[in-house]
Structure 1
Amino acid sequence: MGLRILQVMAGAEQGGAELFFERLCIALHRAGLHQHVVMREASVRLARMREAGLRPVLLPFGGRFDFKTGRALRQEIARFQPAVVLSWMNRATRFVRPGNHVFCARLGGYYDLKYYRGCDWLVCNTEDIRDYVIKQGFPAERAVHLPNFVPQQHMAPTARKLLYTPENAPLVLALGRLHENKAFDVLLRALALVPDVYLWLAGEGPLRASLETLAQDLGVKPRVRFLGWRDDTPALYAAADLVVFPSRHEPLGNVVLEAWAQRTPMVSTRTDGPARLITSGHNGLLVPIDDHRAMAGAIRQAFGEPGLGEAMARAGWDSYLAAYTEEKVVASYRSFFETIVAERSGAVDRG
């Protein structure tokens, strides 16, 4: 029957972890692993998974009075008899119980480990998160770093005229949830210091109205396009001259990997994940967190220094090919699953 993997996700309709969960499920399916997926209702994700050949089971993953999910999940596990159960984030993990399977949880942030006490293994998508869980007391030999991948999909560039953007204007792209952690307010303040630059901001979230008001107050609203949530991000990358990632807190930063995969130069703050990924001046530019003047200076440098953008784009592409392609990451996950299953069966010495 081959390796049997059951994945559990209780996340939102949109989000970075949710998007990578979808990508990984589909990629492992393409690679021939026998999978079963249990997740919360998310219409777009469900449609894409079904299109890829997966048939997820939907459960509510509610609060403390949700008595259905735990029972139904145990039934799915008993029916499928997985070798490995991989849960994603706190809510899904708390519904999983240890059993005959190897119980793993995948972490994309610095989560409270009280939800992970029953796990056999923790899968961390950055080395910093692995260091964190070890410092919190989780056994080092049971915590593994497995990175994310982003697809190599390329699209024709979005026509600037569709978004009322001059063809010859320097164009910055920023993507992410419109949330305090993403610091798009800092980017808008930086934009006020680079008067010829236009900004496409792709994402939705609770701060949209306040960011639009800030753009108006700063006098940059005519050069900013709020795009909402987009499913055509490769086309946006292809149209942009520079990606800017102004986050205040980012354990990994998928936007860095996406910019590299799309061969688009980038500027990022020195938050945890990007600071580990980027060598400033080589495959990107790094600036201090919450420093709009430094960010404006990096944007001017990226546009003004001859050959810098092209050189950073080439170096970013090389960084992507070295470690963050679907093929390399799927091979790492497969090797990890095979090793821990063999260990559970006694074929590998725990020492």
Structure 2
Amino acid sequence: MAGAAHGGAEGFYERLVLAQHRSGMEVLAVVRRNAERAARLAAGGLAPVELGFGGPLDLLTGRQLRATLEAFRPQVVVAWMNRAARFARSASRGAAWTLVGRLGGQYDLGYYRGCDILVANTRGLCEWIAGQGWPRQRLKHLPNFASDMGGAAPADLPLPSGVPILLAMGRLHPNKDFSTLLRAVALLPAEVHLALAGEGEERGALEALARELGIASRIAFLGWRQDVGALLAASDMLVVPSRIEPLGNVVIEGFSATRPVVAAAADGPRELIEDGRSGLLVPIGDHAAMAGAIACLLADRARAAAIAQAGRAEFETHHAEAPVLAAWSLFLQAAAMIRTGVPR
């Protein structure tokens, strides 16, 4: 996995390989150099291999990856997103193992040329991949799981006590559209506060927007946080305003913590949430609709509780560790038997 320092796809990679290791599966985690990630994997009992995974001029990583894989002798290699797929493809030429490409969005399939199978984390993404001409018999849907956030002790937030607290989490990037959420908060009663966990290039602009809207005192910019369960326990509701969200791991985390979720109707939340039952969906970029949905649940706590319970049931059935780990295990057993000899 050659991803960023933070992110939903990267976080799920860590959860998955650690869960596979705990289940008794023999796992080798090969990751882009990142001391914090390596420490988390090592704390979970793995011995991660850190490689450079650089740009087009990186001629060393491919050779190191090939040598690492040959020494480990895997049956299946899973390339997690684009950069990892590019290096794994070259390292797998003539190899005996099955090469699986795992996608979490509508990526350029050129990176995955030579993969025996592709895995996508939503059914909608599977349909998109098939629509690009990828054979359906070499395509598998495997959902993500989130850690169970239920029962965590509430975080101590820099916000007043006894007031309604909304929580939003993610990279501070235009795709996450936190500006729409701030505009929605400005339409809500003054006692409603927002905790925003995340960091990124839009932080300065969002802080300026909060001041412009007159709500700066009602917003807590928390930076990157690892205590997601504690943040959810300290909040009344999770809000996901993303314009582009292929899956939305954060939605699953909200489900697991039995918190009602309000989300913009991007691809992932639209697939995860049954509108009106396990969450509320609003049009993308519509701050008035978002404010209305939030106000509706704050005013009707019984409905909010019912929605939260439906989300929790959805988590337990489809997005808890046990069912997803079982699905991955069955898939890898089948993949290990393929060794198709597809040209790489």
Q: Deviations over 1:253-296 (max 9, x none)?
A: 01110000001111001110111111111111110000000000
* Residues 1:75 and 2:67 aligned together: yes
Query: What's 2:52 paired with?
Result: 60
Q: Distance in 1 between matches of 2:312 and 2:22?
A: 24
Q: Distance in 2 between matches of 1:278 and 1:11?
A: 27
Q: Distance in 2 between matches of 1:166 and 1:280?
A: 31
Q: Distance in 2 between matches of 1:308 and 1:41?
A: 46
SS in 2 for 1:34: coil
Query: What's 2:31 paired with?
Result: 39
Query: What's 1:140 paired with?
Result: 136
Which of 4, 19, 38 is matched with 1:12 structurally? Answer: 4
CA contact (8 A) 2:98 2:340 kept: no
CA contact (8 A) 1:184 1:247 kept: yes
CA contact (8 A) 1:87 1:105 kept: yes
Query: What's 2:161 paired with?
Result: 167
Residue type of the alignment partner of 2:140: V
Query: What's 1:4 paired with?
Result: none
Structural RMSD (CA): 1.2
Query: What's 2:299 paired with?
Result: 304
Q: Deviations over 1:173-208 (max 9, x none)?
A: 000000000000000000000032100000001100
SS in 1 for 2:27: strand
SS in 2 for 1:192: helix
Which of 283, 290, 313 is matched with 2:285 structurally? Answer: 290
Q: Which consecutive aligned stretches of 4+ in structure 1 deviate over 6 angstroms post-superposition?
A: none
- 1:51-130 equivalence runs, <5 A: 51-96=43-88, 97-98=92-93, 99-130=95-126
Q: Distance in 2 between matches of 1:68 and 1:281?
A: 52
Q: Distance in 1 between matches of 2:68 and 2:335?
A: 21
CA contact (8 A) 1:83 1:102 kept: yes
- 1:170 positional shift: 0.9
CA contact (8 A) 2:98 2:338 kept: no
* Larger displacement relative to structure 2 (89-98 or 313-322): 89-98
CA contact (8 A) 1:13 1:43 kept: no
Residue type of the alignment partner of 2:256: A
Q: Distance in 1 between matches of 2:245 and 2:340?
A: 37
Q: Distance in 2 between matches of 1:276 and 1:209?
A: 32
Q: Distance in 2 between matches of 1:113 and 1:342?
A: 24
Q: Distance in 1 between matches of 2:309 and 2:56?
A: 50
* Larger displacement relative to structure 2 (94-103 or 137-146): 94-103
CA contact (8 A) 2:186 2:213 kept: yes
Query: What's 2:337 paired with?
Result: 342
Q: Deviations over 1:35-88 (max 9, x none)?
A: 111111112111111011100111101111111100000101111111000011
Q: Distance in 1 between matches of 2:245 and 2:4?
A: 18
* Residues 1:228 and 2:220 aligned together: no
Q: Distance in 2 between matches of 1:284 and 1:221?
A: 27
SS in 2 for 1:104: strand
Identity %, equivalent residues: 48
Which of 228, 238, 243 is matched with 1:243 structurally? Answer: 238
Aligned pair count? 335
Q: Distance in 2 between matches of 1:202 and 1:182?
A: 12
SS in 1 for 2:30: strand
- 1:219 positional shift: 0.4
CA contact (8 A) 1:243 1:266 kept: yes
Q: Distance in 2 between matches of 1:305 and 1:19?
A: 34
Q: Distance in 2 between matches of 1:264 and 1:313?
A: 5
Which of 20, 24, 29 is matched with 1:28 structurally? Answer: 20
CA contact (8 A) 2:2 2:53 kept: yes
Residue type of the alignment partner of 1:181: N
Structure with larger RCO (C-alpha < 8 A, sep 6+): 2
Which segments of 5 or more consecutive residues in structure 2 lack a partner in the other structure? Answer: none
Query: What's 1:183 paired with?
Result: 177
Residue type of the alignment partner of 1:155: A
Which of 129, 138, 148 is matched with 1:152 structurally? Answer: 148
Q: Deviations over 1:296-317 (max 9, x none)?
A: 0001001012411110111111
* Residues 1:49 and 2:3 aligned together: no
- 1:186-201 equivalence runs, <5 A: 186-195=180-189, 196-201=191-196
Q: Distance in 1 between matches of 2:194 and 2:26?
A: 43
Which of 286, 289, 310 is matched with 1:315 structurally? Answer: 310
Q: Distance in 2 between matches of 1:190 and 1:314?
A: 25
* Larger displacement relative to structure 2 (285-294 or 166-175): 166-175
SS in 1 for 2:24: coil
